[in-house]
Amino acid sequence: MPISEKKLRSNPAWIKRHINDPFVKQSVKDGYRARSAYKLIELDDKDKIIKPGMKVVDLGAAPGSWSQVVKQRLTNPKTGEVEGRIIAMDILEMEPIEGVNFLQGDFREQDVADALEELLEGEKVDVVLSDMAANLSGVAVADAARCLLLNELALDFAKENLKPNGTFVCKVFQGSGFSQYVEVCKKTFRKVVVRKPEASRTTSAEVYLLCRILK
């Protein structure tokens, strides 16, 4: 179960580890907004998820490092043009990224779903990414339930918005309900694999499910 972000960030040990983290240092050099960029880079290098011409939704996108990576991966190396579409969604504000449409709001709300539909003009997308994390209360049982519910709703969102051969990437915390969630994903998609990128801390229970081709 993840510890609340707020609690972590006020902890001197966390601050020290953050400053010394090689992925944090690298992200500053590379101009990424967060170290989590390297998780998506590793996933995409290995599994070739994002290609120029695709439409991609980035759920829980702020501060925006995954959207930065998606933009790079949609760039045609020959022309330097971004080919495709990126729609980033988050409850929080996000600094704009040129070429990325940002929808602020809770993806579970109808008005946000309507705004997305309008942006996509009713079309489906190739990839749904979810690096979302629920706001945690510190009460373990309640927090586990919140994370699971968020994952289930992200899966519903993916089913609703993906093309039949689309890909869903979802951050999941190993723990209560994890194996059941993997089973539901396996019933929904033809191929489901669990990935733990190097940039994902070994102390964190998070893993990423890579789900391909809707059944």
Ligand X SMILES: C[S@@+](CC[C@H](N)C(=O)[O-])C[C@H]1O[C@@H](n2cnc3c(N)ncnc32)[C@H](O)[C@@H]1O
Handedness of CA 213, 81, 37, 4 (dihedral sign): negative
Question: Which structure tokens are listed for 10?
Answer: 């006020």
In 143-165, which positions are buried (b, 16+ CB within 10 angstroms) versus exposed (e)?
A: bbebbbebbebbbebbeebbeee
Question: Which structure tokens are listed for 61?
Answer: 């996108």
Q: Which amino acid is at 70?
A: V
Q: Please, which residue, 57 or 192, has the CB nearer to ligand X?
A: 57
Is 171 catalytic? The answer is yes
CB-based closest residue to ligand X: 60
Q: Does 66 bind ligand X (CB under 6 A)?
A: yes
Q: Please, which residue, 41 or 185, has the CB nearer to ligand X?
A: 41
Question: Which structure tokens are listed for 3?
Answer: 């510890």
The minimum distance between CB 183 and ligand X, in angstroms, equals: 23
Phi, psi at 129, each rounded to 5°: -105, 135
Q: Does 145 bind ligand X (CB under 6 A)?
A: no
Q: Can you tell me which residue has the tokens 């925006």?
A: 64
Catalytic residue among 39, 55, 71, 171: 171
Q: Does 107 bind ligand X (CB under 6 A)?
A: yes
Q: Does 133 bind ligand X (CB under 6 A)?
A: yes
Number of residues that bind ligand X (CB under 6 A): 22
Per CB under 6 A, the segment of 47-55, 89-97, 113-121, 193-201 that binds ligand X is 89-97
Catalytic residues: 171
What residues line the site for ligand X (CB under 6 A)?
33-34, 36-37, 60-66, 89-92, 106-108, 131-134
